[in-house]
């Protein structure tokens, strides 16, 4: 009897200890892996646009220390020297991350993207002057395709393992033993697996029969097809320029205005939701929080004015130009047609972008958003017929021109098509106020930029 009682007491004590241990373990697990910490709040709207989290760290985030060491472990996979800067992201002095990258702790620190990575322009007035950054302008220097390939290629490389990465992480980070164990046995292997899983959806960016997107371009509708609605790869290919997203209040759906280059979306609210879903990579966990960011973005982008031209203007020439504009251009760019689709046969530009999207894709993508319980007018469920006659506010900073960025400067755009340059370098940020656009030839442009050849697929001007 005595023995039995002792055994019983022993069992009870052990059970209580185990329970406590389990609870502590669960707490640590939750704290170090899942606990959602509030994102850094930014009082200044420009800072918020550049660095503020929209919530993408949850499903699309990369663990901070892995993000940090990748360029150090895999410098051979970068398109040039300078770490992430080689991809043409805008990096402000003294900032921990480039513009368009947000950091948030969900258990551990994670890095994700914001709209500003593609929608922040930079230019320099001279080769030796500092870049001027224009949030909401098009990032014409970003080599997005190379960045996507970098992440997948690193994950596929045998050097992406706990030993190699931890060695590099330990050089810079001061992690405690729990975090070090977590990185070694969970975070590194899981991140590797997640990145490799994306390879199939990214198949088309490895195709040798397609030209490179080049700096400042993005095959956005194909991204939507392969990631948002999960379609298998088809043969379409249509990278476009990054657009500006300032002054969005100029678009009025009630006047027949459409958004995106081919007019595939109804209004700013819809485009912004779809863009944000693309960044989130999954259904938002906290829908109110998500829609709060959307409302803020709609308001900020609607009211943000286009930047004015920073170089001197010859008023006599401008007055002559104004008359020519009224005669030759206003019928599409300052009229009822502005913001609406002009048939591709009439405008005569490259048609490949149109073939990357269609009515069925629009219906399915709209269904995905609806299934998440998100209400928006959404993508236009009609065949695509042409390109939107652009509003020309802030046009000086939209170079290179046309939806596919196939014409380097305004000067070239005003020439007959057969006289426009057929080969030029895009992505160099020194401005040319004579031709109005960026410098696209010469040794520096060739070194920094990527070659655009108008004879290649989807590139014609
Ligand atoms: C990976 C790059 C990238 C990111 C990130 C991105 N966009 Fe875009 N965005 C584009 C491209 C490219 C287009 C043009 C697509 C097309 O028409 O083919 C576009 C189009 C748009 C348009 C339509 C512009 C017009 O005049 O019709 C808006 C508005 C917009 N984006 C807002 C956003 C917002 C807000 C975010 C963040 C939630 C965001 N984008 C994130 C690349 C990006
Ligand atoms: C028939 C209607 C029409 C007329 C007339 C017209 N445009 Fe356009 N314009 C368009 C369309 C449509 C696009 C978009 C084409 C594309 O991107 O493929 C465009 C694109 C542009 C762009 C490039 C915008 C960007 O963001 O890259 C500029 C600049 C431009 N037009 C200026 C002019 C000027 C200047 C004139 C007069 C000399 C003119 N256009 C006459 C319909 C027209």
Torsion of CA 288, 294, 295, 296, to 10 degrees: 110
The whole-angstrom separation of Cα 71 and Cα 68 is: 7
The whole-angstrom separation of Cα 369 and Cα 277 is: 9
What atom of ligand 2 comes closest to residue 399's alpha carbon?
Answer: 27
Task: Report whether 400 contacts 123 (CB < 8 A).
Answer: no
Q: Which two tokens stand for residue 345?
A: 């046969």
Q: According to the model, what pLDDT value does residue 321 have?
A: 96
Which residues, in sequence order, are CB contacts of 180 under 8 Å at separation 6+?
A: 166, 170
CA distances from 47 to 88, 99, 100, 248 (A): 19, 9, 10, 19
Neighbours of 199 (CB within 10 A): 14
CA neighbor of 415 nearest in space, from 461, 346, 367, 369: 461
CA neighbor of 173 nearest in space, from 34, 68, 91: 68
The whole-angstrom separation of Cα 133 and Cα 119 is: 11
Rg of the chain over Cα atoms, rounded to whole angstroms, equals: 25
Ligand nearest to the CA of 402: 2
Q: According to the model, what pLDDT value does residue 1 have?
A: 64
> From atom 37 of ligand 1, which residue's Cα is the shortest distance away?
115
Q: According to the model, what pLDDT value does residue 202 have?
A: 94
Interval between CA 243 and ligand 1 midpoint (Å): 7
What atom of ligand 1 comes closest to residue 251's alpha carbon?
Answer: 26
Question: pLDDT tens digits for 362-386?
Answer: 999 999 999 999 999 999 999 999 9
Sign of the torsion formed by the C-alpha atoms of 264, 269, 271 and 274: negative
What atom of ligand 1 comes closest to residue 259's alpha carbon?
Answer: 27
Interval between CA 420 and ligand 1 midpoint (Å): 27
What atom of ligand 2 comes closest to residue 405's alpha carbon?
Answer: 27
The whole-angstrom separation of Cα 33 and Cα 109 is: 10
User: Which of the listed residues 220, 273, 357, 388 should we mutate to test ligand 1's pocket, taking the one with most ligand atoms within 8 A of CB?
Assistant: 220
| Backbone conformation region of residue 109, classed left if phi is above 0, alpha if psi is from -120 to 50, else beta | beta
Task: Report whether 140 contacts 242 (CB < 8 A).
Answer: yes
> From atom 39 of ligand 1, which residue's Cα is the shortest distance away?
115
Task: Report whether 139 contacts 90 (CB < 8 A).
Answer: yes
> From atom 11 of ligand 1, which residue's Cα is the shortest distance away?
242
User: Which of the listed residues 136, 271, 361 should we mutate to test ligand 1's pocket, taking the one with most ligand atoms within 8 A of CB?
Assistant: 271
The whole-angstrom separation of Cα 371 and Cα 357 is: 21
Task: Report whether 229 contacts 364 (CB < 8 A).
Answer: yes
Residues (pLDDT < 70) of the chain are: 1
Q: How would you label 234-243 residue by residue, b for 16+ Cβ within 10 Å and e otherwise?
A: eebbbbbbbb
Which residues, in sequence order, are CB contacts of 173 under 8 Å at separation 6+?
A: 65, 68
Q: According to the model, what pLDDT value does residue 392 have?
A: 97
Please give all residues whose beta carbon lies within 6 A of any atom in ligand 2, as ranges.
261, 328-329, 331-333, 342, 346-347, 349, 387, 389-390, 392, 395, 398, 401-403, 410, 413
What atom of ligand 1 comes closest to residue 297's alpha carbon?
Answer: 35
CA distances from 115 to 2, 75, 112 (A): 71, 26, 10
Neighbours of 273 (CB within 10 A): 24
């Amino acid at each position: 009897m005595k023995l039995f009682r002792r055994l019983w007491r022993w069992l009870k004590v052990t059970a209580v200890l185990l329970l406590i241990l389990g609870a502590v373990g669960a707490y640590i697990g939750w704290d170090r892996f899942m606990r959602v910490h509030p994102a850094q709040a930014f009082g200044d709207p420009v800072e918020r646009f550049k660095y503020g989290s929209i919530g993408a760290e949850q499903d699309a985030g990369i663990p901070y220390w892995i993000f940090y060491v990748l360029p150090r472990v895999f410098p051979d996979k970068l398109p040039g020297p300078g770490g992430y800067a080689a991809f043409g992201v805008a990096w402000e002095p003294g900032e921990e991350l480039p513009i368009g990258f947000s950091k948030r702790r969900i258990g551990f620190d994670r890095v994700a993207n914001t709209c500003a990575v593609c929608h922040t322009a930079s230019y320099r007035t001279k080769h030796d002057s500092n870049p001027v950054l224009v949030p909401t302008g098009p990032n014409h220097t970003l080599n997005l395709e190379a960045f996507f390939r970098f992440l997948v290629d690193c994950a596929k490389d045998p050097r992406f393992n706990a030993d190699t990465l931890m060695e590099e992480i330990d050089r810079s980070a001061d992690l405690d033993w729990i975090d070090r164990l977590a990185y070694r046995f969970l975070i590194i292997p899981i991140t590797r697996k997640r990145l490799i899983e994306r390879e199939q959806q990214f198949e088309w960016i490895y195709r040798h029969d397609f030209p490179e997107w080049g700096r400042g371009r993005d095959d956005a509708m194909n991204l939507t097809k392969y990631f948002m609605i999960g379609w298998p790869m088809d043969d379409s290919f249509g990278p476009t320029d990054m657009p500006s997203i300032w002054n969005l209040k100029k678009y009025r759906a009630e006047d027949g205005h459409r958004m995106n280059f081919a007019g595939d979306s109804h209004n700013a609210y819809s485009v912004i939701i779809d863009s944000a879903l693309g960044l989130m990579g999954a259904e938002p966990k906290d829908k109110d929080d998500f829609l709060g960011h959307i409302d803020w973005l709609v308001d900020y982008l609607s009211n943000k004015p286009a930047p004015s031209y920073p170089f001197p203007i010859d008023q006599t020439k401008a007055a002559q130009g104004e008359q020519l504009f009224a005669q030759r251009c206003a019928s599409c760019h300052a009229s009822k047609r502005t913001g609406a689709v002009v048939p591709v046969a009439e405008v005569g530009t490259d048609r490949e972008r149109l073939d990357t999207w269609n009515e069925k894709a629009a219906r399915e993508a709209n269904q995905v958003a609806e299934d998440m319980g998100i209400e928006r007018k959404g993508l236009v469920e009609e065949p695509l017929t042409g390109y939107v006659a652009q509003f020309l506010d802030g046009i000086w900073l939209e170079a290179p021109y046309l939806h596919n960025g196939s014409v380097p400067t305004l000067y070239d755009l005003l020439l007959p098509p057969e006289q426009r340059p057929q080969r030029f370098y895009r992505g160099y940020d020194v401005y040319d106020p004579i031709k109005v656009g960026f410098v696209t030839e010469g040794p520096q442009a060739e070194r920094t930029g990527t070659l655009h050849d108008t004879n290649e697929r989807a590139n014609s001007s």
